[in-house]
Structure 1
């Protein structure tokens, strides 16, 4: 693996996981020392992160990890809505009903564990939820069987990984999201494209409202508002 690819993979993972928070300076000298390589591959990696919107130039500070603000979230969800609805509709028509019914059962179980104060210390409902969401995304992509849709969705999901962190400290929202994902999986399992679309729309509306409430405002202090979907 090329040095620039290794640095890119590591920094990207740390940004998406929140280990490198918004505003953290990505200094070439510091990162080159950290990875034990020259500044050139580090510069290439940081350039890729900036091109993807994960980093940005900030005045005299240099390149920093970008933030996710209300200005970013609304247009991101507009694209997500189009992609997720089409993928769910295709999955309902082409997917294996048993696979999605099983996913729905597991998501409903996780939602119930959020609501229970008696889960063990080893139990981690948020981690289980995020793992199931990734499994469901993969299952929908595979069932939709459209590589162009898959590629477009991958780009959007990279940014959504940071938006999802906004709900990470809100168990009630995570529990609701788990139930909403269960409804999507259940709708897909019925083979009804219309039911799948309705379930996706409900989830995205709730997710958008939650994200806008938790995201930092724009630099000008404005708050983005969502246009109602007809």
Structure 2
């Protein structure tokens, strides 16, 4: 792995996990030393993070982790709705019905009572996302979704886990997967819309008090 790729991956993980919080100043000297790379690959990694919208170049010498407030989250979900509802509709038309049927069976039997089950559930969502991307086979759409999903990791970390919301989310994903398996594009898009509406409402309600 190139030094710039490694620096990018580590900085991305630190931003998504919250180890590098919003507003944190990313000193080139300090970060290069921490990551064990020279300043040239670090600058390349920072340029990629700027392009992702995860860091902001405030001046030639000052780079900070981008803020993420309630307004940012609403804006993120606006583009997420447009992309994911379109993806669901197209995937229902183009995808492998049997593959989506198998995923639906797994959503129907998820166990959210333990950490292992919740981890498996999130992995299952990632597999559904991958199946949707493969079904649509549109590199432009997939690229846009990858950017959105990168930011969603930060959003999910900010929101508190709610057992009742997690169970509802699993049921919503089951409806989406079943619609995809039935090749019902309208239902798949509508079910995706409902899921995203409920997810946004829950996330905003769970943000720390005082979050703008």
User: Structure 1 length as normaliser, TM-score?
Assistant: 0.81
Structure 2 portions without partners, runs of 5+? none
Q: Is it true that 1:198 corresponds to 2:190 in the alignment?
A: yes
Aligned counterparts of 1:154 and 1:101: Cα–Cα separation in 2 = 24
> Which residue number corresponds to residue 157 of structure 1?
149
Per-residue CA deviation, residues 158-214 of structure 1 (Å, 9 max, x unaligned), is: 111221223453232222212211111111111111111111011011011112223
Per-residue CA deviation, residues 46-96 of structure 1 (Å, 9 max, x unaligned), is: 23213322123579x943322321111112111111111111111111112
Aligned counterparts of 1:21 and 1:126: Cα–Cα separation in 2 = 25
Larger deviation, residues 199-208 vs 32-41: 32-41
Aligned counterparts of 2:183 and 2:202: Cα–Cα separation in 1 = 29
Structure 1 portions without partners, runs of 5+? 222-230
Aligned to 2:63, what secondary structure does the other structure show? strand
Per-residue CA deviation, residues 10-65 of structure 1 (Å, 9 max, x unaligned), is: 21122223343334432222221123332232233223213322123579x94332
Per-residue CA deviation, residues 86-145 of structure 1 (Å, 9 max, x unaligned), is: 1111111111222112111212222xx22x4xx5xxx52221111011100000111112
> Which residue number corresponds to residue 90 of structure 2?
90
Contact 2:160–2:207 at 8 Å: present in 1 too?
no
Contact 2:89–2:186 at 8 Å: present in 1 too?
yes
State the Cα RMSD in Å. Answer: 2.5
User: Structure 2 length as normaliser, TM-score?
Assistant: 0.87
Give the deviation of 1:150 after TM superposition: 1.2
The 1:62/1:170 distance shift into structure 2, 3 A limit, reads farther
Aligned counterparts of 2:144 and 2:58: Cα–Cα separation in 1 = 28
Aligned residues: 211
Contact 1:167–1:173 at 8 Å: present in 2 too?
no
Contact 1:70–1:216 at 8 Å: present in 2 too?
no
Aligned counterparts of 2:160 and 2:91: Cα–Cα separation in 1 = 28
Runs of 4+ with >4 A deviation: 216-219
